[in-house]
Each structure stands twice: as C-alpha cells, then as structure tokens.
Amino acid sequence: MRIDRIELRLVRLPLVRPFQTSSSRKAHLDHILIRAVMADGQQGWGECASPSDPFYCPETVETCWHILHDFLAPMCLWRDWSSIEELVGLYRNVKGNAFARSGLEMACWDALSRDQGRPLHELLGGTRAEILSGVSLGIERDLPTLFDRIDQFVAEGYRRVKLKIGPGWDVEVVRKVRERHPSLPLQVDANSAYTLDDVETLRRLDDFDLLLIEQPLAHDDIVDHARLQRALKTPVCLDESIHSAADARKAIELGACKVINIKVSRLGGLLEARRVHDLCLERGIPVWCGGMHEFGIGRAANLAIASLPGFTLPGDVSGSDKYYRRDLVEPPILATRGAIAVRNVPGLGAEPILERIDEATLRTAILDAGPTKG
C-alpha cells in the first residue's frame, strides 16, 4: 500500500445536549477527519477525537492538526507499506501525540481492510457479533437531573452506568444513586481529581458495590495508584495513565490497577490498543472500551476493537444518538437493549456520508507532496 494523498478536515457537530466540564460548557465538538487515498485509488477514513482543550491529556485539536499536517502526513506520503506495523514504523520517531497518530492509523486500517474485502473487526481478531454498551454521565447541575438521565438510559437498556465524580460530587451522590438502583452495574470515573490525601473519602466508596473506580489519581501516575489499590476493595481502573502496552505491563506488575480502560486514541491507535488487550487477556486483567464522544468513524473503530474476546465489561461506546442528532456515517451506530451490532462489511463498518461531512467542515488541508525524512 502507498498513500498518495491525505486530506485533513476540521469537522464540527452540534451536541444534542450541552455538557459541562470543570472549566467550560460545550455545545458542539470539533474533531479532525483524515482521508487517506492510496496509490491504487483505495480510500480510508480516520478520526482524531481530541478534545479542543488540554484538560484530559496534553493534546488538543490544534496540536493534532499541527502534528498530522507537519509531521505524520509528510512522513507517510509516497512510502510503501504492507502492514500496519510497517506503516507505524514510518513515523516511529514521533513521540507522544497519540490522538494524532491514532487518526492517521485508523484511516490506514480502514483502507487496508477495504483492500482485503474484510471487516476491520475480523482483521483485528474480533470474536463478538455485538458489543455490550454502557453510558458515561457527566457531573450534573443537581441530583434530580442526574436521576432523570440515569432512568432514561436504564430504560433504554444500557448495561451499566458510569458516573463522573470529583470532590464535592462523590460519596453522597453515589450513595443516592445506589439506593435508587440497588442492582445496577455502576462505576465511577474521577479523571484524576484526587490525591493520596483523599484515601479516606475514596475508601467510603467501597460500600456501594462499584464495578471499579477509574483514574482517581494523577494522569501521569502509576506508583501512587498501586498504594491506593492496596487500601481499597473497589478495583482501580486506569485510563489517563496508560499510553502503551509497556505502561499496562508496568501498572499490572506494580498492582496499580485490576482493570484497564482501552481507548484507541489515547493509545495511539488500534495496533497498540490490541497489544494492551492481548497483554491483559494473558494476565487475567479485564478490559473495556473507553470513548471520547467519537463521531461515527471513530465510534465504528471502537466497536471493532471492543469485539475482541478480552472486552468482558460493558464499554463507554453508546449509540451516537446520545450525543449527535445526525452523525456523519450510515447506517447510524445505535444501541438496542444495550447492545450494538458489529457489521460484517469491508472496512471500519460505517460509510462516511460526504455531503454531511462537507456541510460540517470548517477547514480543509490537502497533502500530496513527496516524502520527507523523519
């Protein structure tokens, strides 16, 4: 395979319901779509689902644009590769910037699987015909609003609920949700909001039969998480701290977690995501698929990886209707009774609709110059 042309598009979709983070209120999301056109005319699409601000991880939409435009694309254009391992070898000198790498790699996986006439989930080694779907709920304005949201998604059949927590919105919120839903599979995500000074607060969460607590401590820590895990009954799950299979191995060996959240974009792509999956399967560590509010292309890639056998816990991959009124792909990715079917068609499993993408595009760059050294 050889990429002759890379198209980058900054694409905006309005959110069905604005969401509030600690620092901003968002009514829409901007992601980068990558179209890679091969020498033989085969195409693939990828999505870079980076947040626009550096509050989840250091990357932003604009750093992704910069790295894709000025480094990754020039390092790959006009170079021959025959496997994804060879493709990522072309840009192995690029450190970090996982979201940017993941978007380009996804476009190449899509093109490769279309070229072979096989579904991406099959290339990856997927074994499930459907994936089990949970929802991730933000910190809401008040408890009644949170209860309404939970009731809605439980009624729709979602298999588990994840609550975002932080100081001031934790033990009492979880207590009340647990009282209202005694047998609901429930987990919490702290997005690094605590320190070891909060062990007593976090220990109180042990009373609520949570599936796990996700990333309670610093985004770049695995050592303190090991200490915390020893103090808690609730399994610790790492998200932000795990960037590679090597990180996952170290975290498991240190006892920093009992579960890992596999997020394609945080791991720099599907190849590394599969390596983390394989390691966890071998070590008996359950995994689940995290999300970044992906549009249809990135969501389809999440479904493909989540079909692998080690994904034994419901993921954050919900129907796209939870976020977007009209997504950019057909058929729309929707959950039925808390499960999403994995499609048996060549490629990612979702067809990008060009007219909708054109309508949503804010900025475009076309790269088709010869290669540079990296």
Residues near ligand OSB (CB under 6 A) are 56, 136, 189, 191, 239, 290-293, 316, 318
Residue nearest to Mg ion (CB): 239
Catalytic residue among 233, 250, 263, 373: 263
The interface partner of residue 45, options being Mg ion, ligand OSB, none and the CB cut-off 5 to 8 Å by kind, is: none
In the chain, which ranges are continuous DSSP H helix? 61-67, 73-76, 84-90, 98-115, 120-124, 143-155, 171-180, 199-204, 223-231, 245-254, 270-283, 296-306, 354-360
Asked if residue 224 lies in contact with residue 217, where contact means CB atoms within 8 angstroms, the answer is yes
263: its two tokens: 């997020």
Q: Is the dihedral of CA 35, 39, 41, 43 positive or negative?
A: negative
The interface partner of residue 316, options being ligand OSB, Mg ion, none and the CB cut-off 5 to 8 Å by kind, is: ligand OSB
The interface partner of residue 291, options being ligand OSB, Mg ion, none and the CB cut-off 5 to 8 Å by kind, is: ligand OSB
Shortest reach from residue 252's CB to Mg ion, in Å: 18
The interface partner of residue 302, options being Mg ion, ligand OSB, none and the CB cut-off 5 to 8 Å by kind, is: none
Which residue, among 66, 64, 69, has the nearest Cα to 98 in the 3D structure?
64
Closest CB to Mg ion among residues 285, 350: 285
Asked if residue 136 lies in contact with residue 291, where contact means CB atoms within 8 angstroms, the answer is yes
Closest CB to ligand OSB among residues 268, 290: 290
3-state secondary structure at position 124: helix
The interface partner of residue 102, options being ligand OSB, Mg ion, none and the CB cut-off 5 to 8 Å by kind, is: none
Catalytic residue list contains 263: yes
Rounded CA-CA distance 154/161 in Å is 8
The interface partner of residue 327, options being ligand OSB, Mg ion, none and the CB cut-off 5 to 8 Å by kind, is: none
Shortest reach from residue 136's CB to Mg ion, in Å: 8
Closest CB to ligand OSB among residues 269, 314: 314
- 291: number of Cβ within 10 Å: 23
Closest CB to ligand OSB among residues 4, 130: 130
Asked if residue 328 lies in contact with residue 298, where contact means CB atoms within 8 angstroms, the answer is no
Asked if residue 2 lies in contact with residue 38, where contact means CB atoms within 8 angstroms, the answer is yes
Shortest reach from residue 292's CB to ligand OSB, in Å: 5
Shortest reach from residue 290's CB to ligand OSB, in Å: 5
Catalytic residue list contains 26: no
Closest CB to Mg ion among residues 105, 189: 189
Shortest reach from residue 80's CB to Mg ion, in Å: 38
Q: Is the peptide bond before 331 cis (omega within 30 degrees of 0)?
A: yes
Residue with tokens 């039969």: 209
Shortest reach from residue 116's CB to Mg ion, in Å: 33
Spell out the SS3 assignment of 148-211.
HHHHHHHHCCCCCEEEECECCECHHHHHHHHHHCCCCCEEEECCCCCCHHHHHHHHHHHHHCCC
Binding site for Mg ion (CB under 5 A): 189, 214, 239
Catalytic residue among 26, 162, 164, 258: 164
Closest CB to Mg ion among residues 110, 214: 214
Which positions are annotated as active-site residues? 164, 263
